[in-house]
Amino acid sequence: MENRTVLHRAIVAAAISLVASAAFASPASPGHRTDEAWLRQTLAAREAALTRAYDTCNLHALRASVFAGTRVATPDGHRIDPLTEARDRICGRLRREVVPGSLSVRAVGDDSALVSGVQRFCAIDDRPCAAPGGRFVQLWTLDHGQWRMGWMKRSGGLPPASEASTAAPAPGPEATPRSAP
């Protein structure tokens, strides 16, 4: 319960910082453009790694990309564990895709950033993804030299559990339930 309180306070502080920085913007330093490009490139790479972790069902890589206790806020108000959701609903059934050109990165202080975009989860096959996408917003924080996601809110992009369970699972052991991470 204490982790939730600390995370909630961090999110509120990040939001206040974001609003304050927008309201009282200071002139950009000469290196500011380079810093923004580096941040955008770095977090786009982290997003790509997150997508690969989902798509290959690499729960260890997924766990390394998020802080312990991270929950995803869904459109219906539920808060779910991304590792459990990946294991039970996505692995061997769906692939994640971030819609090209939709990713946006905005610095929040010196060691955090808000990443937003549109994601969709599609059937595992060679056909282009036609699933409707849903917006997401994530808070990434630099922790001992590694960027980790600490919070995510999404508005769609993943089919309801009934549809995800009817998607054809991949053949072989990947389709069998796995033990808890």
DSSP 23-61: HTPPPPPTTHHHHHHHHHHHHHHHHHHHHHHHHHT-HHH
For residue 113, the SS3 value is: strand
Short-list 149, 151, 152, 112, CA closest to 136 = 152
| 10-14, 65-69, 70-74, 123-127, range with the lowest pLDDT | 10-14
31: which 2 tokens?
Answer: 């290196």
Alpha-carbon dihedral angle through residues 43, 49, 55, 56, given to the nearest 10 degrees:
-170
β-partners of residue 154 are 136
| 159-172 residues labelled b (16+ CB within 10 A) or e (exposed) | beeeebeebeeeee
CATH of the domain at 104: 3.10.450.50
Kindly report the length of the chain.
Answer: 181
Does 10 fall in a domain? no
Does 14 fall in a domain? no
The whole-angstrom separation of Cα 79 and Cα 64 is: 20
Give the torsion sign (CA, 27, 13, 136, 141): positive
pLDDT at 4: 61
| 39-43, 104-108, 124-128, 140-144, range with the lowest pLDDT | 124-128
Domain count, the chain: 1
Does 4 fall in a domain? no
pLDDT at 172: 37
The answer to whether 167 and 158 have CB atoms below 8 angstroms apart is no
| Average of per-residue pLDDT across 17-31 | 40
Does 16 fall in a domain? no
The answer to whether 135 and 150 have CB atoms below 8 angstroms apart is no
Describe the chain by its helix, strand, coil percentages, rounded to 5: 40, 25, 35
Does 18 fall in a domain? no
Does 51 fall in a domain? yes
Does 101 fall in a domain? yes
Domain range enclosing 115: 31-175
Does 23 fall in a domain? no
Global pTM reads 0.66
